[in-house]
Amino acid sequence: MPGGGGLSLGRPYRRTQPEAVRATDGDALLSRLSACRAGYLSPDPYAVMLLGHAEAPRRPPIINIGTYLRAREVDVLVQHFIDTGACGRPYTHASRVQIVSLGAGSDTRFWRLRDARLAKYLELDFSSTTSRKAAVIQAHPELGNALEDTHATADGIVSSTYVLLGMDLGTLHQGAWERAAAYLDPALPTLLLCECVLAYMDVDVANAALRACLATLPHASILSYDMCISSDSHGPAPTRFGQVMLQNLAARKLTLPGARGCTSKAAYVERFQHLAEHASHLECQAYTLRESWHQLEGQERRRVSMLEHLDEVEELEMLLEHYCIAWMDRAIVQ
């Protein structure tokens, strides 16, 4: 049994908190590959390159369905943003847009999208993660050839469209954002993509970081996917299921300050609206993965339901209820 006899077996038990947060990237990648392998998502050859091999453990069906819904919802919203410059109702006429992925990890969306309307695609993460990603991009022509005018930096890559920068997001409001903002055109609508990252950051620190980004971007949107450990009918305290989620993650040395501080979709909406003070255009929405599961078009839902045998229908509903998508479009016109 791991850890038996009181002996430390090294990782994950000896991980420090920052190491544990960095390791979540590997989990996201393995979950994605498991959902691809089981047929929920289309194959993602770029994810295999980033992992370094094609072996990914099989995740249980409920995890695969959660991963599928998350990827689908985020992909649809990101594509809508690229097409219209907004996550919701279009409000600008820009022909090009920018995306900044905060805590991008091993995400492959840039290579899957390759849209001519993308003026810039920035990825930010800890420099240990961006250095590793930069090395993989340079080693694989399928990844590297998608970039133009590329040059390597100490911990990332700068090219005409794609830019990979190493930095602690917790320092964005202390000057680090200026380094990223230098690659952006403030006239273009810009999406701040936060997929599974806000839960790891203290709410005040993350809000300060998001404020620093918003301050330089008159037309900005935020799109977050993350856990919500309470339910809107239950008040801000975690549900029993939410408590179990926290306990499971605490065993992996993850304390989830952001998940504890922003616990429901209503809390996300309130938080984003607060960040958008003085907006001349503001739209904000949040919904759980359970809602997206029930809104899935009939034929697609049948396809997905038949891919694997699913016993734990109640557990699936509960799990999906504890993850939410939240987005905000906000413009400031001087």
Instruction: Point out which residues bind ligand SAH (CB under 6 A).
Output: 21-22, 24-25, 28, 103-105, 107, 125-126, 129, 168-170, 195-197, 200-201
How far from 254 is each of 9, 24, 88, 334, CA to CA, in Å? Answer: 18, 9, 33, 42
> Distance between CA atoms of 316 and 293, rounded to whole angstroms?
10
Instruction: Considering the complex, state which of residue 195 and residue 321 has its C-beta at the smaller distance from ligand SAH.
Output: 195
| Residue 224: strand pairing partners | 194, 326
Q: Name which of 29 and 119 has its Cβ closer to ligand SAH.
A: 29
CB of 19 to ligand SAH, least distance (A): 10
Closest CB to ligand SAH among 51 and 217? 51
Minimum Å distance from CB 200 to ligand SAH? 4
How far is residue 298's CA from residue 296's CA, in Å, rounded to a whole number? 6
Give min distance, CB of 197 to ligand SAH, in A.
Answer: 4
Q: Which residues pair with 44 in a beta bridge?
A: none
Find, among 151, 120, 121, the residue nearest to 134 by Cα: 151
User: Which residues lie across from 282 on neighbouring strands?
Assistant: 330
Q: CB of residue 61 vs ligand SAH: minimum separation in angstroms? A: 20
Cβ-count burial of 223 within 10 angstroms (0-12 exposed, 13-18 middle, 19+ buried)?
buried
The minimum distance between CB 217 and ligand SAH, in angstroms, equals 19
Residue whose CB is less far from ligand SAH, 90 or 170? 170
Cα Rg for the chain, rounded, in angstroms?
19
Q: Looking at beta carbons only, is 118 or 208 nearer to ligand SAH?
A: 208
Judge contact between 288 and 229, C-beta under 8 A: no
| C-alpha–C-alpha distance, residues 183 and 29, integer Å | 27
Backbone φ and ψ for 147, nearest 5 degrees, come out as: -105, 150
Give the residue with the Cβ less far from ligand SAH, 23 or 310: 23
Smallest gap from residue 169 Cβ to ligand SAH (A): 4
